[in-house]
Structure 1
Amino acid sequence: MLIPERLRDQMTACGLTQAALARRVGVSQQTVGRLVTGDAYTSRYLHKIARELRTTPAYLTGETDNPEADAPDISITAEEREILDLMRALPPTERAAALVLIRSLATSARSPSVHG
C-alpha cells in the first residue's frame, strides 16, 4: 500500500496539510484523508493531487519509484498560486472577463512604450 506513505511524504516535501491540498485540488479534506489513511486506494482526482504534489500518479500508486519521472513543472510563485485560486473561485462569466483583462495587461506589458 504505497499511496498513503508516498502521499504523506510528498505532502511533507511540499509543506501541505490535507486541508491545503484538498483546497488546491478542489476536493473535500475527507477525500485526501481517506487516501492518506489507506481507507481509499485511488481517487478520480489522483492526477490533480499528483500535480499539486509535483509528482505523478504513477509514483503515488507504485508504478514507478521515481517521484520526478515525467512530473509536470508547476514551479509557480505564491502570487501566481493566489491568482489561480482566485480565478477558480469566480463564476464562469466573471472568469472569462478576468482572463480578457489579464491577457490585455500581459500584451501591454510586452509592447514597447511609445512616449511622445
Structure 2
Amino acid sequence: MNLSERIKMAREYVGLDQKGLAEKVGISQQMVSRLETGKADGSSHLIRIAQVCRVNPFWLYDESYEMVDEKSLTEEEQRHLQLFREASPKTRRAVENVYEIEKQDISPGQTRTNNNGPQERAA
C-alpha cells in the first residue's frame, strides 16, 4: 500500500469525506483528492492529517508501523479493542455487520429517533 492509499484509508477510518478532511486539515478538497491519487506531495500536511484521522503519523510514511497507536486511544476505545481481539471470528463478524447496518442507517447530518426516546445526530 502506498502513501496515497494510506491517506485515503485514514480518512475513511474516521468516516470523513474528502471535503470534511480538507476542512479539518485546512486545505482544499482538491488537494485531498490530489494527495489520495498520488498527484501531490503531502509531506507538509501529513502530521495534521494523522492528527485529524487519529492515526499513527509514522504509519502514513511507512506501513510497517501500526495504523493506530494504541496509547492514543481512550480507555473506552482500548476496552472495545481488547474485547474485539478476544472475540471469536463469529462474534467479530456479527459486530462488523451491526456496524455496517448502523453506518447505513444514519448518514452525516441526518437525525433519527432512538427507540428509547432521545435523538441521535450523525457527526
Q: 1:61 aligns to what?
A: 61
TM-score by length of 2: 0.51
Higher strand share: 2
Residue 42 of structure 1: CA displacement?
Answer: 2.6
- The percent of aligned pairs where both chains have the same amino acid is 36
**DSSP 3-state at the match of 1:38:** coil
Partner Cα separation in structure 2 for residue 41 and residue 60 of structure 1: 13
2:50, 2:57 within 8 Å by CA — same for their partners in 1? yes
Deviations 1:4-37 (A, max 9, x none): 1111112112110111000011111122111100
Moved more, 58-67 or 8-17: 58-67
Q: 1:35 aligns to what?
A: 35
Q: 1:20 aligns to what?
A: 20
Distance 1:6 1:63, change over 3 A: closer
Higher RCO, 1 or 2 (CA under 8 Å, sep at least 6)? 1
Partner Cα separation in structure 2 for residue 14 and residue 54 of structure 1: 8
TM-score by length of 1: 0.54
Partner Cα separation in structure 2 for residue 46 and residue 70 of structure 1: 19
Letter of the structure 2 residue corresponding to residue 29 of structure 1: Q
- Unaligned 5+ residue runs, structure 1? 75-116
- Unaligned 5+ residue runs, structure 2? 75-123
Distance 1:47 1:72, change over 3 A: farther
Higher helix share: 1
Deviations 1:69-111 (A, max 9, x none): 377458xxxxxxxxxxxxxxxxxxxxxxxxxxxxxxxxxxxxx
Letter of the structure 2 residue corresponding to residue 53 of structure 1: C
Distance 1:41 1:70, change over 3 A: farther
Q: How many residues align?
A: 75
CA RMSD of aligned residues (A): 2.5
